Structure 1
Amino acid sequence: MKSVELFTGAGGLAIATAKAGFHHLALVERDKHSCHTIRENQQRGVSVVRDWCVHQMDVVDFDFSTVGGEIDLLAGGPPCQPFSIGGRHGAHLDERDMFPRFFQAVRELRPKAFLIENVRGLLRQNFINYFEYITLQLAHPELQPKQDESWVDHLARLERHHNSGASDDLGYRVTFRLLNAADYGVPQKRERVFIVGFRDDLNANWSFPEPTHTEEALIWHKWVTGEYWEKHGISSHDRPEIPARLRSRLQRFGANLLGTVSEAIPKGIASPWCTVRDAISDLPPPENVDLAASIPNHVYIPGARSYPGHTGSPLDEPAKTLKAGVHGVPGGENMLALPSGKVRYFTVREAARLQTFPDDYYFPCTWGESMRQIGNAVPVTLAYIIAASIRNHLQELTVGKKVVSRSGKI
Structure 2
Amino acid sequence: MAMPPIRFTSFEICAGAGGQALGLEQAGFDPVLLIDSNAHCCRTLHQNRPHWNVLQADVMDFDPAEHDKVYDVDLLSGGLPRVKSAATIQRADSDTEWKLLQAAVWMAHSVQPRAVLLENVPELVTSEKYASDREWIEECLSDQGYRCSWQVLNSADFGVPQYRKQGFLVALRDPHHSAFRWPEPNGTFAPTVGEALGSSMASRGWPGASAWAAAANKPGPALVGGSDKRGGADLGPTGQKKAWARLGVEGKSIADDVPGPHDPIDLLPMLDVRQAATLQSFPTDWTFHGRKTSVYRQVGHASPPPVAEAVGKRIAQALSR
- Using the size of structure 2 for normalisation, the TM-score is 0.78
Partner of 1:71: 73
Partner of 1:56: 56
- Matches for 1:147-166 after TM superposition, within 5 Å: none
Partner of 2:247: 337
Partner of 2:287: 362
2:10 to 3, 21, 24: 3
Conservation of the 8 A alpha-carbon contact between 1:179 and 1:192: yes
Q: Secondary structure at 1:23's aligned position in 2?
A: strand
Instruction: Report the Cα distance in structure 1 between the residues aligned to 2:310 and 2:60, rounded to whole angstroms.
Output: 30
Percent sequence identity is: 31
Q: Secondary structure at 2:199's aligned position in 1?
A: coil
Instruction: Report the Cα distance in structure 2 between the residues aligned to 1:335 and 1:190, rounded to whole angstroms.
Output: 17
1:189 to 146, 156, 163: 163
Change in Cα spacing, 1:334 to 1:372, as seen in structure 2 (3 Å) is farther
Instruction: Report the Cα distance in structure 1 between the residues aligned to 2:29 and 2:204, rounded to whole angstroms.
Output: 40
- Matches for 1:4-403 after TM superposition, within 5 Å: 4-41=11-48, 49-65=49-65, 66-68=67-69, 70-80=72-82, 82-84=83-85, 87-88=88-89, 94-97=95-98, 98-122=100-124, 123-140=126-143, 170-200=144-174, 202=176, 204-213=178-187, 271-285=188-202, 288=205, 315-325=216-226, 326-327=233-234, 329-330=236-237, 331-332=240-241, 337-338=247-248, 342-395=267-320, 397=321
Change in Cα spacing, 1:35 to 1:335, as seen in structure 2 (3 Å) is farther
Unaligned runs of 5+ in 1: 42-48, 141-169, 214-270, 290-313, 398-410
Give the structure with higher Rg (CA). 1
User: Hey, which bits of structure 1, 4+ residues long, moved more than 6 A?
Assistant: 333-336
Instruction: Report the Cα distance in structure 2 between the residues aligned to 1:83 and 1:286, rounded to whole angstroms.
Output: 38
Instruction: Report the Cα distance in structure 2 between the residues aligned to 1:77 and 1:7, rounded to whole angstroms.
Output: 6
- Using the size of structure 1 for normalisation, the TM-score is 0.62
Instruction: Report the Cα distance in structure 2 between the residues aligned to 1:275 and 1:86, rounded to whole angstroms.
Output: 31
Partner of 1:216: none
- 1:233-268 CA deviation, whole Å, 9 max, x = no partner? xxxxxxxxxxxxxxxxxxxxxxxxxxxxxxxxxxxx
Name the count of aligned residue pairs: 278
Instruction: Report the Cα distance in structure 2 between the residues aligned to 1:61 and 1:192, rounded to whole angstroms.
Output: 27
- 1:33-67 CA deviation, whole Å, 9 max, x = no partner? 211222233xxxxxxx2311111010122221223
Instruction: Report the Cα distance in structure 1 between the residues aligned to 2:245 and 2:56, rounded to whole angstroms.
Output: 31
Change in Cα spacing, 1:282 to 1:135, as seen in structure 2 (3 Å) is farther
Change in Cα spacing, 1:85 to 1:179, as seen in structure 2 (3 Å) is farther
Q: How far is the alpha carbon of 1:125 from its aligned partner?
A: 3.0
Q: Pick which of 384-393 and 340-349 moved more.
A: 340-349
Amino acid at match of 2:311: I
Conservation of the 8 A alpha-carbon contact between 2:115 and 2:172: yes
Q: Secondary structure at 2:166's aligned position in 1?
A: strand
Conservation of the 8 A alpha-carbon contact between 2:84 and 2:94: no
Q: Secondary structure at 1:344's aligned position in 2?
A: coil
Instruction: Report the Cα distance in structure 2 between the residues aligned to 1:370 and 1:208, rounded to whole angstroms.
Output: 31
Conservation of the 8 A alpha-carbon contact between 1:83 and 1:91: no
Instruction: Report the Cα distance in structure 1 between the residues aligned to 2:117 and 2:92, rounded to whole angstroms.
Output: 20
Conservation of the 8 A alpha-carbon contact between 1:114 and 1:198: yes
Amino acid at match of 1:56: Q
Conservation of the 8 A alpha-carbon contact between 1:176 and 1:194: yes
Change in Cα spacing, 1:172 to 1:372, as seen in structure 2 (3 Å) is same
Instruction: Report the Cα distance in structure 1 between the residues aligned to 2:275 and 2:44, rounded to whole angstroms.
Output: 17
Partner of 1:403: none
- 1:342-383 CA deviation, whole Å, 9 max, x = no partner? 422211111111111111001232222211111100011111
Change in Cα spacing, 1:34 to 1:209, as seen in structure 2 (3 Å) is same
Instruction: Report the Cα distance in structure 2 between the residues aligned to 1:189 and 1:284, rounded to whole angstroms.
Output: 21
Q: Secondary structure at 2:200's aligned position in 1?
A: coil
Instruction: Report the Cα distance in structure 2 between the residues aligned to 1:350 and 1:73, rounded to whole angstroms.
Output: 31
Instruction: Report the Cα distance in structure 1 between the residues aligned to 2:246 and 2:14, rounded to whole angstroms.
Output: 29
- 1:321-347 CA deviation, whole Å, 9 max, x = no partner? 000132362122777833986422211
